[in-house]
Amino acid sequence: MKPTAVAVPSSKFTFRLRPIRLAEFLALALLIVAMGLPLFFLLVGSFNLAPPGKAAVYGVNNWVNAFTDPGTLGALWMSFLLSVVRLIPAMILSVLVAWLIARTDMPGGRTVESFCWIAYFVPDFPLTLAWILLLDPSFGFLNTAAKGLPFIDVPLFNPYSFWGIVWVHTSTSGIWFKVMLLVPVFRRLGASLEEAARVAGANTATMLRRITLPVLAPMILAVSVLSFIRGLQSFNTELLLGTPAGIYVYSTRIYDYLQREPRAYGEATALGSVFLLVLGILLFFYWKYLSGDKKFTVVTGQGYSTLRVKLGKWRYAALGGCLLYIAVMMILPLLFLVIGSFMRRYGFFGIAAPFTLAHWQNLFSDPIFFVALKNSLIIASVTALGGILLYSVIAYLLVSRRTVTKPWLESLCWIPHVLPGILLSLGVLWLFLSTPLRTLLYGTVWGIALALILADSPVTTQAFKAGLLQLGADLEEAARVSGASWAYTYRRILLPLLAPIAAAVGLMNFGSALTSISTPVLLYSHQSRPLAILLLEYSFTGELERAAALGLLITVIIGAMMIAGRKLGLRLAGSS
């Protein structure tokens, strides 16, 4: 008897492919609308002389007005200067701390790494308020204490200055993010080259300078570029500390244009458009550098070793230096944030009965607070759930071999990575005001949640993509052989296996949405005001005591989320 070949009917095979192909093009269309349209309206709006919602009148007056304003070029220059000045020492410290944690026998390395993770999730705006309490020239605790010393009659510290902003940035976003990215790379570096350098008589400093750092140069450069862009995106600290001193960066300049009466939409959009052009040029040269023939192999299959460098008598000195940095940059401002929330008058320690519970009582008796709390919880929940559902599907499409639009999907997902929050907010604002979405989303919690979901695209997509790449294709193939549809397979098999990642990114996006100011600052109304915007309003109206209380409350919420998220992640990881 001749063996007979069993062929799968082409119609059935096509039917199983159709949901994926449909999901692929639906995802592409959604990303084009969600990511591309805000950019399109941002660029076109820079030439529109009419206010949003009115009949368009095109010309170049917006660009002329923006760049003949003497403050515009100064704001652009200040953005780059601040980002460069704070990047250089932060990168040096980050590389050193990451090396100490991952490559040396310094005791307590895991503890130092944990502190970096905790500090990364502490909101920056409350910490900025704490540094005001510490450094303000009139009532700052450190200035007041210094005046008690002989020969000191003037304030030593001033946060409302260029170096004050640099210092506060070093505290709020200095090394934490960079260490988190660099430590895994240092851990994966094989020690064979370092051991050969030791055999050749090189000391630790020479080995670090001539072997370790050159080998890891691409990753260090990548982290530097990413940190530089994040520095250019900074908004909160410059708004709170720079505005009183007349120091503007491009993001606070855009905000200033849109706070005028009448609002200067065109000038703000022109400034944002030229900034996008500058960012595009920077990224072009960065990608050109990485696309060369350089190869930096750090892990091989031959004699892989991770032997740690012995610091000898410097082990505990290195640990002490790391803990001192953490104490000064994180624990000290958090301690004074707690103190400030209970002060009768913010910063005045010498008055009779300086501490009170009145500000906490006033905060919890304010109906605006509960409306803002409800808005924040809705926005953060929608952002977290929407990001998980949308970007897990997109990540699946990116790792699928059948996806024909992968380059386009990947590129669109990375747009928010180079789009600062204030520019994303401005682009979404133009989208809302220039389309029928004006009546549906403008000034609502749903519009703010949409903008925040877009902002979370790069990190969330890459997290799910990494998780999916770790899953074998046999799981999905077995489900298909059993007759399961793609949607059923995705819902019942893939998503449960990705539950730990979904919990992690969901909580991260929830916390980010809870503390974000630059993205919702142009999109909210009095009915949709979230807690972070209420905190900004308290700070601008001089209610620093109530602002400290609200900032501490937000910090406690984030801390509780981190603890709950860690327990949930461990439980899901164990069950999967």
pLDDT, tens digit, 9 for 90 and up, residues 433-485: 777 888 888 889 999 999 899 888 877 887 787 777 766 666 666 766 676 66
**So what's the pLDDT on residue 531?**
92
Return the H-helix or E-strand segment holding 513.
helix 499-515
For the segment 71-81, the average pLDDT, to the nearest whole number, is 85
Q: How many CA atoms lie within 13 A of 3 on its CB side?
A: 3
Residues 6+ apart with CB under 8 A from 258: 264, 265, 268, 426, 522
- Asked if residues 384 and 561 have their Cβ atoms less than 8 Å apart, the reply is no
For the segment 408-421, the average pLDDT, to the nearest whole number, is 75
Instruction: State percent of the chain over pLDDT 90.
Output: 9
**So what's the pLDDT on residue 297?**
44
pLDDT tens for each residue of 214-240: 766 767 777 777 778 777 778 888 888
pTM, two decimals, is 0.77
SS3 letters for 168-212?
Answer: HHHHHHCCHHHHHHHHHHHHHCCCHHHHHHHHCCCCHHHHHHHHH
Q: Per mean pLDDT, which range of 277-281, 327-331, 378-382, 429-433 is the poorest?
A: 277-281
**So what's the pLDDT on residue 5?**
43
Quickly state the pLDDT bin for 529 (edges 50, 70, 90).
Answer: very high
- Asked if residues 334 and 555 have their Cβ atoms less than 8 Å apart, the reply is yes
DSSP character string of 451-474: HHHHHTHHHHHHHHHHHHHTS-HH
**Distance, CA of 382 to CA of 560 (rounded, Å):** 19
- Asked if residues 340 and 129 have their Cβ atoms less than 8 Å apart, the reply is yes
**DSSP E strands: which ranges in 218-329?**
none
Residue 200: pLDDT over 70: no
Q: Which residues does residue 48 pair with via DSSP β-bridges, in sequence order?
A: 58
Mean pLDDT of the chain: 78
- Cα-based distances in Å from 320 to 108, 166, 325, 438, 511: 10, 24, 9, 55, 31
* Helix boundaries (H) for 236-357: 236-237, 250-257, 265-290, 315-326, 332-341
Residue 383: pLDDT over 90: yes
Residue 527: pLDDT over 80: yes
Residue 549: pLDDT over 60: yes
- Nearest CA to 190 out of 297, 311, 309, 104 is that of 297
SS3 letters for 352-389?
Answer: CCCECCHHHHHHHHCHHHHHHHHHHHHHHHHHHHHHHH
User: Which of the pair, 566 or 119, is modelled with greater confidence?
Assistant: 119
**So what's the pLDDT on residue 283?**
65
Quickly state the pLDDT bin for 378 (edges 50, 70, 90).
Answer: very high
Q: Is 58 helix (H, G, I), strand (E, B) or coil?
A: strand
Give the chain's count of helices (H) and strands (E): 31, 0
Amino acid present at 219: M
User: Which of the pair, 111 or 2, is modelled with greater confidence?
Assistant: 111
In our burial notation (b when 16+ CB lie closer than 10 A, e otherwise), range 435-458 reads: beeeeebbbbbebbbbbbbbbbbb
Residue 329: pLDDT over 60: yes
In our burial notation (b when 16+ CB lie closer than 10 A, e otherwise), range 374-409 reads: ebbbbbbebbbbbbbebbbbbbbbbbbeebebbeeb
Q: Is 290 helix (H, G, I), strand (E, B) or coil?
A: helix
Q: Per mean pLDDT, which range of 180-184, 199-203, 208-212, 368-372 is the poorest?
A: 199-203
- Asked if residues 454 and 35 have their Cβ atoms less than 8 Å apart, the reply is yes
Both tokens of residue 401?
């071999």
- Asked if residues 426 and 268 have their Cβ atoms less than 8 Å apart, the reply is yes
Q: What domains lie within the chain, and their CATH numbers? A: 23-56+357-576 (1.10.3720.10)
- Asked if residues 312 and 466 have their Cβ atoms less than 8 Å apart, the reply is no
* DSSP conformational letter for 104: B
CA 256 to chain centre: 23
ω into residue 262 within 30 of 0, thus cis?
yes
User: Which of the pair, 208 or 96, is modelled with greater confidence?
Assistant: 96
Quickly state the pLDDT bin for 50 (edges 50, 70, 90).
Answer: confident
- Nearest CA to 250 out of 222, 231, 225 is that of 231
Residue 107: pLDDT over 80: yes
**Distance, CA of 166 to CA of 143 (rounded, Å):** 18
Residue 534: pLDDT over 80: yes
pLDDT tens for each residue of 476-520: 667 666 766 666 776 677 777 777 778 878 888 888 888 888 888
pLDDT tens for each residue of 259-288: 777 777 777 778 777 777 776 776 666 666
* DSSP conformational letter for 163: H
Amino acid present at 538: Y
- Asked if residues 334 and 127 have their Cβ atoms less than 8 Å apart, the reply is yes
